[in-house]
Structure formats: C-alpha cells, structure tokens
Structure 1
C-alpha cells in the first residue's frame, strides 16, 4: 500500500509543469524507488497533462495572447525559429517545461500529433539522462544504501 501511495504521488509530481518526469523520476530514484517503474509512472503523469495541454492549446493560446510576452516565451519562440520542433522538443523540457513548448509549438501551427510525439520523446530523453546521472552519482559516491524516504 505504501508503494502505491508513493507511485501515485510520483505520478502527480510528474504531472506538474516545470517539475515533470524529467525531475520527478530522478527524485524517485534518489529515494530508492525502482528506476523502471518510476520512469513509467512519471512519464504517464507527465504525458496525461501534456496531452491536456495539446488538446486545449488553442484556448490556452488565446489566453496567453491577452498577456504580455515574457522572456521565456520569446526564448522558446527563438528556439523554434532557429532549431525547429525537434530542437525545441529536445531543449524545451529541461529549460521551460514540456507543456509550454507544446503550447508554443501549436501556436506556431505545428500539428498537434507531431508536437505531442516530439515533446513526449524529448521529455522521456531528459528523464532517462537525468535518471542515469543520478544513478551514476549514487554508484560513484557509494550511496547505494541512502534513502531519502523509507519504504519506497
């Protein structure tokens, strides 16, 4: 039961923009959780909210257009113009969050399906890279028995 609550909390944490699976999964690994299960649960949480952002991107775009453009949205727009969707999907999840990248991509008339696929892959890539680095750090420094939370 404790593991079920832990993984549900991980799914919720990964669904929060800017935390996402890219950071939630490595945090779970630091607690001693199973890396594969953490990745699957974290990506599920992230993808559910990413899908919502993609589906409602038009409404979100209208709301954002009423607001002043920030430095971060200008940065993402410049990244899109310079590197295209693939570049933004690879850089965006770690710099701004997958949800923002997806909304901006759709506002730039990139198809929703293509946006969802590339941004999901970019998020998964960062979750894997950061998880491997965390695991490597745990092994390198001999912290295998370290658990930030008991019972994970």
Structure 2
C-alpha cells in the first residue's frame, strides 16, 4: 500500500507533489503519519512533507467532526421533541454504540478526549475516533483541539523517523 501511495504522489508533476501528499493524508487509515512518510520518501523536504500531511489529515478530521456533530444535534433534538418538552436533551442522548465503535467507547470512558486522541491511531484513524467521540457527547471543540495535537505529534514523529531512515540509507 505504501508503494502505491508513493507511486501516486511521485507521479504528479514536481510542483504538485505536495498536494498529492495532502490528498492521501486526508484518507482514513493513512493520516498524517503515513502521509508524512510518503512525502519524505518521494523527496519532499521533511518540513513540507510533514506540514502538508498534517494539513490534509486535519482538514479531513474536521469534516468528520462537523458532520458527526450535526448528526448528533439533530438526533438529540428529535428525541427531545418526541419525548416532550419536559425531558432534557442530554438525558435522551443514547450511549448505544455499534460493535465497530465499542473499543473507542471503552477507551473514551477510560481515558477521555485527550487519551483517545493521543492513543487513537492504535485503534482507528483520527477521522473515525474524532467522529465517534463527538457522537458519544464529547465537546466538539475539545475533540478538535486534541485531535490536532495528536495529528501533529504523530505526523512529526513519523516524518522525522522517515527522514532519519532516508538519511541512513544515503
């Protein structure tokens, strides 16, 4: 898979390769960490590779967060309307989670937004973990802030490691 991503980004004209890295970094499961590695491997300066990988991942994550937040707001409002004016919207928010989100939910309950954001790449991509946390009722702005911190940390770590690896091979 990494070779296919590298081939895609390097097949673009030199002046657009950074954009290719940004695009692939927006794809779930690739995120900033694989995106920055691809950028370094195709010859972009490490700072550029890491920067555009982070930007692509952050933009994608923001899209997922805002969609999840909008859906959750409509669901909670619909339940409140159905239950009557006396029920609180928060008490009507369902904490049911699909089997797919079960790991994220357990981690969310145990570690909170910061922990899931920083450790999330071991479970699911940042886009999915951020959307899941918002759907669980986490504060959207806190999720965004911690996800950005996580995306930057993982992108920098992977990009620096790739740069050091490339330097060792040369």
Question: Which band: TM-score by shorter chain?
Answer: 0.7 to 0.9
What SS is found at the alignment partner of 1:81?
helix
For the pair shown, which has the larger CA radius of gyration, 1 or 2?
2
Question: Which structure is richer in relative contact order (CA contacts within 8 A, separation 6 or more)?
Answer: 1
Q: Report what 1:43 is aligned to.
A: 54
Structure 1 gaps of 5+ residues are: 145-152
Q: Report what 1:114 is aligned to.
A: 142
Count of residues in Structure 1 that have an aligned counterpart in Structure 2: 137
Q: How far does the alpha carbon of each residue in 1:25-62 deviate from its partner, in whole angstroms, 9 at most, with x for none?
A: 11211222111011111111111111111111145666
Relative to its length, the structure with more helix (as a share) is: 2
TM-score w.r.t. the length of structure 1 is 0.80
Does the alignment pair 1:143 with 2:169?
Answer: yes
TM-score w.r.t. the length of structure 2 is 0.72
What RMSD, in angstroms, separates the aligned Cα atoms of the two structures? 2.1
Q: Alpha carbons of 1:122 and 1:23: their partners in 2 closer, same or farther (altered >3 Å)? A: same
Q: Report what 1:79 is aligned to.
A: 107
Structure 2 gaps of 5+ residues are: 1-11, 76-93
Contact map agreement 1:17 1:97 (CA 8 A) in 2: yes
Distance across 1 between alignment mates of 2:141 and 2:70: 17
